[in-house]
Amino acid sequence: MADSGAASAPKPSSSVKLVLLGEAAVGKSSLVMRFVNNDFQENKEPTIGAAFLTQKCNLPTRTIKFEIWDTAGQERFASLAPMYYRNAQAALVVYDITKASSLQKAQHWVAELQRQASPGIVIALVGNKFDLASANPASDASTGGDDADGTATAEEEEDVDGESDARKVPTKTAKAYADEEALLFFETSAKTGLNVAEVFTAIANAIPETSLKGPRGVGGQTNLGRQEDSARVNLTGANAQGPKEGCAC
Partner 1 sequence: MESLDGTDWDVLIVGTGLPQSLLATALSRSGKKILHIDRNNYYGGSEAAFSLQEAEDWSRNVAKDGSSSATFTNVSVHRPEASETDSAKLSSSRAYSLSLSPQLIYTRSRILPVLVSSKVHRQIDFLAVGAWWVYTPGNIAEEDSQVRTGNAVGQGTLRKVPNGREDIFAAQDLDMKSKRALMKFLRFIGEYEEQGEVWEGHGQTSFSAFLSGQFRVPAALHAPLLALTLSSSDADHTTTEFALPRIARHLRSIGSLGPGFGSVIPKWGGLSELCQVGCRAGAVGGAVYVLGNGLTGPATDERPSDGATTETVTTPDPLKVVLKDGESVTTRWIVGSSDDLEPLQTSQHEPVEGTPLAEPKLCSRSITIVSSSLEALFPPMAEGAPIPAGAVVFFPSGSLNSRKENDAKPTLPPVYVFVHSSDTGECPPNQRVLYASVAMTGDVAVRLLERAVQALLSSKNLQPQPIVLWSLRYEQTSQITQHKESAASARTASPDERILVFPPTSLDLAWDDSVLDQVKGVWRSIMGDDGGEFMVFEDREGVGADDEGDEL
CB under 8 A: which stretch of 137-145, 169-177, 179-187, 236-244 binds partner 1?
236-244
Displacement of CA 141 from its chain's centroid (Å): 23
Name the residue nearer to partner 1 (CB basis): 54 or 134.
54
Displacement of CA 157 from its chain's centroid (Å): 23
Return the number of other C-beta atoms located less than 10 Å from residue 117's C-beta.
Answer: 23
Side-chain half-sphere of 105: how many Cα atoms within 13 Å?
Answer: 20
Of 73, 127, 150, 219, the one binding partner 1 by CB under 8 A: 73
What pairing do the DSSP bridges indicate for beta strands 51-58 and 63-70?
antiparallel
Of 102, 118, 136, 211, the one binding partner 1 by CB under 8 A: 118
Query: Does 74 sit near partner 1 (CB under 8 A)?
Result: yes
Residue 174 CB burial class (10 angstroms; 0-12, 13-18, ≥19): buried
Q: Does the CA dihedral 110-113-114-120 come out positive or negative?
A: negative
C-alpha to C-alpha distance for 233 and 87, rounded to whole angstroms: 19
CB distance 77 to 86 below 8 Å: no
Of 45, 161, 180, 245, the one binding partner 1 by CB under 8 A: 245
Name the residue nearer to partner 1 (CB basis): 2 or 148.
2
Query: Does 59 sit near partner 1 (CB under 8 A)?
Result: no
| Minimum CB distance to partner 1, residue 70 (Å) | 9
- Show contacts with partner 1 in window 7-26 (CB under 8 A): 13, 15
CB under 8 A: which stretch of 133-141, 152-160, 198-206, 209-217 binds partner 1?
209-217
Query: Does 87 sit near partner 1 (CB under 8 A)?
Result: yes
Query: Does 224 sit near partner 1 (CB under 8 A)?
Result: yes
C-alpha to C-alpha distance for 61 and 239, rounded to whole angstroms: 28
Of 119, 146, 148, 163, the one binding partner 1 by CB under 8 A: 119
Q: Is 164 left (phi over 0), alpha (psi -120 to 50) or beta?
A: alpha
Name the residue nearer to partner 1 (CB basis): 35 or 185.
35
Q: Which residues bind partner 1 (CB under 8 A)?
A: 13, 15, 36-37, 46, 48-54, 56, 63, 65, 67, 69, 71, 73-74, 76-77, 79-80, 82-84, 86-87, 116-119, 214-216, 218, 220-228, 230-236, 238-240, 242-249
